[in-house]
Amino acid sequence: MPIYEYRCRHCQHRFDKLVQMGTKDSEIECPVCHEQESQKMVSAFGTKGSESRSSASTRCAPAPGGG
């Protein structure tokens, strides 16, 4: 089962949820306010590979201001 990132449309809380394939977003309950108004977010993912050939999706972006 994949883990998806959601944002509650009611309280704006962001959370991760392990869900079965085919589960509708409207069935996902927010763990904070318990409303079923969740929206699936687009999130980064990592891949397994060697350090020298790691993909951009596994690297962290530099902090603003170069820090």
pLDDT tens profile 35-49: 999 999 987 766 777
Average pLDDT, the chain: 80
Domain 1-44 has CATH 3.40.50: no
Please give the pLDDT value at position 58.
47
What whole-number percentage of the chain has pLDDT above 70? 69
Please give the pLDDT value at position 64.
63
Residue 16 clears pLDDT 60, i.e. is over it:
yes
SS (HEC) of the chain: CCEEEEEECCCCCEEEEECCCCCCHHHCCCCCCCCCCEEECCCCCCCCCCHHHCCHHHCCCCCHHHC
Q: How confident is the model at residue 25 (pLDDT cuts 50, 70, 90)?
A: confident
